[in-house]
Amino acid sequence: MKSLFTFKNILILMGLMIVAALANAGLISPEVAMSLAFMGSISDTTSETLALLKSAQSQPNNELLKSFVQPGSATTGLQAYSLEAPAKTLVPIMTPLRNKISRVSGGFGTQANWKAITNINVGNQRIGVAEGKRGGVITHAQSEYLAAFRGIGLENNVTFEAQYAGKTFDDIKALAVSQLLQATMIQEERLILGGNTSLALGTTPTPTLSTATTGGTLAAITQSVICVALGAQAYLDLVGMNNGGVGQAFSGASSALSGQITRTNMDGTTDVFGDGSAQQSAAATQATTGSTSTVTATVAAVRGAVGYAWYIGAAGAERLNSISTINSVVIAAPSNGAAQLASAVAASDNSTSALDFDGLLTQAFKTGSNAYVAVQPTGTAGVGTGLTSDGAGGVSEFEAAFAAFYNKYRLSPSVIYLNSQELVNLTKKIIGNGGAPLLRLMSEANAAAGNVVAGTKVGSYLNKITGDIIPVVVHPNMPAGTIFFFTETLPYPLSGIGETVRMLMRQDYYQLEWPLKTRKYEYGVYADGVLQHYAPFSMGVITNIANV
């Protein structure tokens, strides 16, 4: 009898077994397997079955082919995710005053109190004594000082899920606490420089306006202008200097004056305090014509202000347009349509905060501090008055300050803090020096022939009266248009103080991990103290300096 399995049938059977194996392995779809089996069973030749197998394996949508192609994105397909750990912290942590000023424990009560003798011969009694008589009687003068302690601190939290997700990548809880401490230090630096609990700026003066028909893009309407004088804290909020982030700057669309701040705390309580800005001015109006007009606005300089916010638009629709560090501005373009409305700012003096202590600038600006305060003249509206060369390698405004310090108090500042803008302008005035530069070009012996490094900067300034060389330092929070003279020690024997200023602490930095009440770890970093300045007359401020 003829064999049941011919050679041809054996080949067909082997083909069916291969198809079944491919289908079981998931390398071809069931539909394709059925088609191959059917074709293989009725085919008269093995070549047809093999051709179908080859065709199926060359299909562009076949899963076998996909498994060996590099995925089209970084997070899909069978691949490792190349992620560097831990996360990079690209934030400037710059706190020069906080780092420099001594922190002294031992504070108690609600405020620090101290007395200072400021004159030991009020009547200027002469020392001559007649024969047989006694000398004149001297009297002394003293001043009373106090500064209330303030608590400072910030909080952060980490959810359970955030901690789970960060495993093997970063310690999220440790990161939350370390960055909380750094953020607290940055805010303390701001407070040491510009905190204000006692110097009310009042109501900003009403602007004086003028217009020009060229140079701008203002439309032909009656323009209404409102100005708000800014203390240091409000100014830093608006321009974003060293606020714990990178790339921060004033934005006409998104920057906004807080005015009166209502803050919801982690425990659900609220605090209400001022942001450091004066009460906004009354509106002033100026008609513009055509479509290329500008408006120039000027206000009387406000003592204690380091900047001014300007709002412009139709009456009742004035929007934030620009920030100046002098008491005038040229407004050449309309405000951004999304800019803050002046009507959104509380119509009150928001310059002080009961949660602040007075910072160095505030203590210098305060009436009765006897600090040296010079406000540059208004000059040409919108341009202002810059520093001026004295023609002898110095700056006239600095020489006037040094003379005042020595003539009244027999001292010299030990460091000059300024903004990068003022350092550039100071260097220009000194290097230009009225056409008579006093510079010497030096080159290293191993330098390539003719290789000169371009550029120079003022790193220190000679006090010609005392002979002291005073470092000139860019401070990350110092507003443009303001220069601060700081004296660290007094040249007075038996003064009773080693340093003019210190942080007196009831409690220095401490961390709390709050009890769990939700599935969230909650942390706080706090301190409690006050900036205590024994000799505010040793400070000085030049402000309203134009960028020229």
Q: Are residues 326 and 475 in the same domain?
A: no
> Quick one: 37 and 182 in the same domain?
no
SS3 401: helix
- The verdict on residue 271 lying in a domain is yes
Do 249 and 364 belong to one domain? no
Q: What is the pLDDT of residue 78?
A: 76
Q: Which of 18, 50, 65 lies at the terminal end of a domain, its last residue?
A: 65
- Domain-located, residue 507: yes
The per-residue pLDDT for 48 is 63
Residues 393 and 504 placed together within one structural domain of the fold: yes
Task: Report how many domains make up the chain.
Answer: 3
Q: Within a 10 A sphere around the Cβ of 181, how many other Cβ atoms? A: 16
372 and 324 inside one domain: no
Do 54 and 114 fall into the same domain?
Answer: no
Q: How far apart are CA 314 and CA 285, in angstroms?
A: 9
329 and 434 inside one domain? no
**Residues 337 and 370 grouped into a single domain:** no
Residues 336 and 378 in one domain: no
CATH code for position 185: 3.30.2400.10
DSSP three-state, residue 333: coil
**Residue 73 resides in a domain:** no
Please report the pLDDT score of residue 41 as a whole number.
Answer: 53
Q: Quick check: is 120 in a domain?
A: yes
For residue 38, CA distances in Å to 15, 24, 49, 166 come to 11, 17, 9, 54
Residue that terminates a domain, selected from 344, 366, 400: 344
Cis peptide preceding 86, ω within 30 of 0 = yes
CB 217 within 8 A of CB 334: yes
Print the domain residue range for 310: 208-344
Do 186 and 220 have their domain in common?
no
Instruction: For residues 527 and 378, state if they share a domain.
Output: yes
Please indicate, yes or no, if residue 86 is contained in any of the structural domains. no
Q: Give the mean pLDDT per block of 10 residues along the chain (548 residues).
A: 53 65 64 57 55 60 57 80 84 92 96 91 94 94 92 96 92 94 96 97 98 96 98 94 79 92 95 97 97 97 98 97 97 96 95 97 96 97 95 93 97 97 93 61 62 80 96 96 97 88 97 95 97 96 97
**Nearest residue to 118 via CA among 92, 99, 100, 145:** 145
> Is residue 147 in a domain?
yes
Q: Which DSSP helix (H) or strand (E) runs through 325?
A: none
Tell me, yes or no, whether 445 lies in a domain. Answer: no
Based on the fold, state whether residues 190 and 215 are members of the same structural domain.
no
